[in-house]
Amino acid sequence: MNTGIMSSPAEQLASHDLIDPVSDQWLTEERLARLDRDFGDSLEILLVSGNLTKVIDYWIRLELAHESMRSERIWPKSEQQSALIKLRDQWTKNNAENSDFNLLPEKLDIKLLVSPGSQLWAYEQWGHRLESIFLEKKSSLDRVSFWMLRVNDKFLAQELYYRLCDDEESFKHIVAQFGSKEDQGKGGFWYLQPLSDVPYGLEPILRHMENGEVTSPKRFGKQYAIVKLKDRQLAKLDKAMEQRLLMSQMKIWINQIIPPIKNHLISQRYS
């Protein structure tokens, strides 16, 4: 079936890395017709305002939620209603004073069900692979707590490194005296950061450090950084981790679906 969707060069080059369902499978003719209808004359203003990607992301999640809601196996109607009652109560508490959300009841219900519905879709797609996904990514899922100090002067960095190694002064005290404004704001301390999310390319350094170890100054751009690992929390496949992996997998998948949707909308608009 030719849907008229153009693949970007990045998609073509990395097709072996795509997560199922790929765009040609998921973007059926029926779904594309719904896409064209939903975006309609709004495309121009979304493009100009820079909001097109964000709205496409939400549209995809809405579609996923609808898929879950239509399936009694994925999301039984009784469970939908129970979830909706709780979500309505929470919404009322949080938005009682907000006049910007005067949605019709049926529209509000759909809005409230987008997040749980799309999450159930993700579990249906990748829930059976959670253990293998976890094992593939485990080394980046560990969390670390560490101190970081950054200074502009190489020789000062070396001097502070020796002070820290000799335990002459605490890391916090040295950060307060010499650290950058950003480091001082945190007291130089980063608490339980996933290794995959640590800043400034520190992941490979922290991955191999022992608790209490202090690195010699490392150059990052125009600054020199000293890092001390406080502790490491090994990742485990519990309910919270399963949720985190599903959300990450869904985000990756949505990001692979957005470009062909953009291409379709723009080609339809300007062809």
The more confident residue out of 104 and 75 is 75
CB 25 within 8 A of CB 260: no
User: pLDDT value at position 99?
Assistant: 62
Query: CA of 46: how far to CAs of 39, 90, 152, 198, in Å?
Result: 9, 30, 42, 33
User: pLDDT value at position 15?
Assistant: 45
Percent of the chain beyond pLDDT 90? Answer: 68
Give 169-195 pLDDT, tens digit per residue.
788 899 999 988 888 888 889 999 989
pLDDT > 50? residue 6: no
pLDDT > 50? residue 241: yes
Give the start-to-end residue ranges of the domains of the chain.
9-93+103-132+245-270, 143-233
Give the fold, CATH level 3, of 143-233: Chitinase A; domain 3 (3.10.50)
Which of 14-18, 184-188, 254-258 has the highest mean predicted lDDT (pLDDT)?
Answer: 254-258
3-state SS assignment for residue 6:
coil
Dihedral sign for Cα atoms in the order 204, 205, 210, 211? negative
Q: For 69-94, what is the mean pLDDT?
A: 94
The least confident of 17-21, 119-123, 196-200 is 17-21
The whole-angstrom separation of Cα 253 and Cα 173 is: 44
Give 107-124 pLDDT, tens digit per residue.
899 999 999 999 999 999
Q: What is the mean pLDDT of the chain?
A: 88
Cα 89 vs. chain centroid, distance in angstroms?
27
The whole-angstrom separation of Cα 237 and Cα 132 is: 11
Q: Could you give the count of Cα atoms lying within 13 Å of 92 in the half-sphere of its Cβ?
A: 8
The more confident residue out of 5 and 168 is 168
Q: Angle 171-178/154-165 helices, nearest 10 degrees?
A: 160
User: pLDDT value at position 120?
Assistant: 97
pLDDT > 60? residue 201: yes
Q: Residue 18: pLDDT band by 50, 70, 90 thresholds?
A: confident
pLDDT > 60? residue 10: no
pTM: 0.76
The whole-angstrom separation of Cα 235 and Cα 196 is: 12
3-state SS assignment for residue 153:
coil
pLDDT > 80? residue 165: yes
Q: Residue 64: pLDDT band by 50, 70, 90 thresholds?
A: very high
Q: For 29-52, what is the mean pLDDT?
A: 94
User: pLDDT value at position 199?
Assistant: 83
